[in-house]
Amino acid sequence: MRRYSLIGLLFSQILLLVTLAGCSTQPPALPEEPPPTAVVPTPIPTQQPTPTAIPAPTPTPVVSPSPGGLTGGTLTLVSAADIPHRDVHQVRQETLATLGPGLAYSRLLRLRTGPLVEQPSLMLECDLCESWRLTSDFAYEFQLRPDVRWQNLNPVDGRPLVAGDLVYSYQRMETEGWPHAKLFSDRGISGFQAPEPGILRVSRAFLDSDALLALADGHSKIIAREVVEQYGDLRRSPVVGTGPWIWESTEEGVGTALSRNPDYFEESLPYLDGLVIKLVKRSGQFPSSGTKLLAAFRAGQVDVVNLPPGEWNQLSSSSAEFNASIAEQAGSGLLIWANLQTSLGGQADIRRAIFQSIDPWEYVHSLWQGHGSVGAGVPVPGPDWLLPQDTIRDNYFASPSEARELLAGAGVALPLSIEIAVVDSSQAYLDLGIGIAEDLRAVGFDPNLRAINPAHYNQLLLQEKESFQLIIGSAPQTPTTNGFLLGLLHSRGPVNLLGHQDPVLDSLIERQASEGDPDLRRRQLVELQAYLLDQAYLFSPGSETSRWAFDWDLKGFHPNTALSEYIFWSRAWLER
C-alpha cells in the first residue's frame, strides 16, 4: 500500500482562493452568504513514513445524554441566508447542512459533544455505527446499529437502514464536479463496500490519520436512494433521513421548521418537540447581520444566537441577563509567521528575537477580551494534544531582554529594518499589527507596517511573499490536522506559508500524518508544535472563538460546531 497518493501535488491552487480572501479577526457567526469551506488538498511528500503496527482501536463510546433532560417545547434559532435548494450533496452551504433541512440526516460518525467535552474537539464517536475496527489490510470495517430506521415518510416508509444506503450516499457525493467529490479521496479513502447489510467496509489507497474525519463531516449525510430515484435529485424532493429531526417546511425569506422524530434510534432524544429556524437578513436599518442578530435576541424573537465579537461586547456590557457558551474553534484563527525566503526571516535568532519581543497574551486580553489561547495554530483532536500554555509562555515569548540579547548575538546593526504585512480585515487586526510593531521597536527593530487589502491577500500568499519578513493574517480554513500541516506547512504543500525547505519539519509532519496509534500521534504533534515555536516559524496569538448567547431556560446546550457538527441540538432541552 502506498502511504501517500502522487496526485496531490497536481491539484490546482484555485480551490484555496475561496478561503484565503476576506479574512477577519472573528468572522460573523452567520454570514449573509455562507462561503464554501474549502479543504486544502493534501500534498504528497516523497519520503515514505515507516509503517506502524496495526493498532487495535477502541472506538470512543457515544456520550450518553443527560438523564435529567425534559421533553417538550420548541427552540427558536436563527440563520442569515436562504438555502438554494434541498440537495445536501450538491451544494456546500452551512445553512442547508446545519441550520436547515440537513438536520434531518444522520452520518456514520460525528464529533463528541457534551458537558465533559473540552473545546476545541475533533474527537469521534459513532452515529449510525456501533463500533469499528481496523483490518489487516488497513481498511476500516464498521458494524452498523441494528435499530436505525428511515423516517416513516413516503417513499422510504420507515424501512431499516442497511450498509448499501451508506455506499450509495458516499458514491453519490463523489459525483464529478460536486462540492464534496474529493472529500474522501483526499483523505486516502478509495472505496466503500457493503459485504453484509449491517457491515460497511471503507477501503484506503494510502494512510491518513484524519481519514475518519471525512465520514464525520457535517456534509457527509446519508440519504435514501428511493427519494433520488423518484424525484431525480433532492433539490425539491421531500426530505427523508434517519436523524433526530423531521423536516416540516422551508420558506424563502422565512426559514425552516423541524419536528421531533418519534422513531429516532437514540432513546429519549431529541428532547425538544421542534426547532424553528428564523431567517434574519441584514437590512438597511442594521449595519451588519450581527447587529440584527443581537437585536432579535434582545427582543426575545430568538432563543439562542452565535454573535460576532462586536455584538458580543455590546451584549456583555448591557444590563441584559443571558446564559453563555464560549468555545475555541479548531482549524481557524489568526497566524503570525516568518517568511524564510527573506534574508532577515531566514535567520533563526532574529526570528526568535521577534517572538520574544511579543506578549501575545496581552493581545488576547486587550483585543479578544481574554477569549482564545496562544499556540502554534495547528488544529488537533483535543486540548490535551496542544503544547501547554505554561511551556509556551516560559520558553518562546514575552522576554524583551532576551530579544535584545538575541539581536546583539546576531551581530546586526540596530535599528534593524523589518517589513510587516497585516491583512486589513478588521480594526482588531490593524490594532494587533500596530501593537506588535511597537513591541518590535522597543527591542531594536525598525518596523514598517503595511496593511493589505483582503482582496489582495491571495496574491500576497501565493506570489509576493518575498516582499515581507513577517505576515499577520488568517490561514486558509483547514479543520483537520493533516490538511493544515501537509497543505500549508510542508515544503511541497500547495501553499508552504513559510517558504521553507526544512527537512526536519517535513519529517515531523510526515511522521504523524499516517500514525494510527492516537497516543503516539499526540506525542508527535506536541513535539512538532514545540519545533515550530522553537524555530520561531509561526504562532497563533489567539484562536477563533464561538460566542453563544441563550436564554437561561435552555439547558444541556454544549455546542461543538467543528466540521459542521450539529448533533448538540438534539441534546438540549427547555425548562419553561
Residue by residue, DSSP assigns 154-194 as TTTTTPBP-HHHHHHHHHHHT-TTSTTTTTTGGGTEEEEEE
CB atoms within 10 A of CB 179: 17
In Å, how far are 33, 88, 90, 234, 410 from 169, measured between CA atoms? 26, 11, 12, 12, 59
Closest CA to 354 of 536, 540, 528: 536
Residue 8 belongs to a domain: no
Does the residue 39 lie in any domain? no
260 vs 246: CA distance, rounded Å: 6
Sequence-ordered list of residues with C-beta below 8 angstroms from that of 64, at least 6 positions apart, any chain: none
pLDDT of residue 364: 86
Cis omega before residue 270 (within 30°)? yes
What CATH code is carried by the domain that includes residue 464? 3.10.105.10
328-372 tens-digit pLDDT: 776 567 899 999 999 999 999 999 999 999 999 998 888 877 777
Which residues lie closer than 8 Å to 219 by C-beta, 6 or more apart?
88, 89, 92, 97, 102, 173, 179, 180, 183, 564
The pLDDT, as a whole number, for residue 413 is 94
Q: What is the CATH number of the domain that holds 564?
A: 3.40.190.10
H-helix or E-strand spanning residue 230: helix 225-231
Residue 236 has what pLDDT?
97
What are the φ/ψ torsions at residue 162 (nearest 5 degrees)? -130, 160
Is the same domain home to 361 and 234? no
Q: Do 452 and 478 share a domain, yes or no?
A: yes
Domain count, the chain: 2
Q: Give CA separation, 433 vs 292, 373, 460, 546, in Å.
A: 30, 18, 17, 23
CA distance 319 to 443: 43
Q: Note the pLDDT of residue 367.
A: 81
Both 237 and 341 in a single domain? no
Q: Say whether both 220 and 369 belong to one domain.
A: no
Q: How far apart are CA 422 and CA 28, in angstroms?
A: 20
| 520 and 556 fall within a common domain | no
Residues 161 and 242 in one domain: yes
Place of cell 510542508: 490
Q: Give the C-alpha separation, 514 to 533, whole Å.
A: 23
For residue 406, give the amino acid letter: L
Tell me, yes or no, whether 502 and 564 share the same domain: no
Q: Are residues 382 and 497 in the same domain?
A: yes
Residues contacting 343, CB < 8 A, separation 6+:
none
Let me know if residue 491 belongs to a domain: yes
The answer to whether 328 and 377 have CB atoms below 8 angstroms apart is no
Give the torsion through C-alpha atoms of 365, 368, 370, 375, to 10 deg: -90
Residues 65 and 189 in one domain: yes
Q: Is 225 inside a domain boundary?
A: yes
> Tell me, what's the pLDDT at 58?
47
Whether 362 and 440 share a structural domain: yes
Do strands 274-279 and 304-306 pair parallel, antiparallel, or not at all (unpaired)?
Answer: unpaired
Amino acid symbol at 574: L
Q: Is residue 85 part of a domain?
A: yes
> Is the bond preceding residue 415 a cis peptide, omega within 30 degrees?
yes
Residue 85 and residue 188 share a domain: yes
The three cell numbers locating residue 33: 452568504
Query: For residue 442, is it within any domain?
Result: yes
Q: Is 398 left (phi over 0), alpha (psi -120 to 50) or beta?
A: left
Q: Which residues of the chain have pLDDT under 50?
A: 1-58
Same domain membership, residue 78 and residue 211: yes
Contact 528, 508 (CB under 8 A): yes
| CA atoms of 555 and 575, how far apart (whole Å) | 7
Task: Count CB neighbours of 91 within 10 A.
Answer: 18
pLDDT value at position 52? 42
Q: Which of 149, 153, 117 is nearest to 383 (CA)?
A: 117
* Residue 404 one-letter amino acid: R
Bridge partners, 422 (sequence order): 451, 472
Q: How far apart are CA 173 and CA 89, in angstroms?
A: 6
Q: What is the pTM of this model?
A: 0.86
Are 41 and 61 contacting, i.e. CB atoms less than 8 angstroms apart?
no
Q: How far is CA 18 from CA 35, 36, 37, 185, 285, in A?
A: 8, 7, 8, 20, 29
| CB 89 within 8 Å of CB 234 | yes
**Cβ–Cβ < 8 Å for 409, 419:** no
Tell how strand 199-204 and strand 255-260 pair up. Answer: unpaired
Which strands form 416-423's sheet, in the order they lie side by side? 304-306, 538-550, 323-338, 470-474, 416-423, 445-452
> Could you tell me which residues come within 8 angstroms of residue 552 by beta carbon, excluding any fewer than 6 positions away?
321, 322, 323
Evaluate whether residue 539 is within a structural domain.
yes
Kindly report the length of the chain: 576
Per the structure, the complete domain to which residue 192 belongs is given by 61-280+551-574
Buried-exposed string 208-230: b where 16+ CB fall within 10 A, e elsewhere: bbbbbbbbbbbbbbbbbebbbee
Question: Per the domain annotation, does 313 fall within a domain?
Answer: no
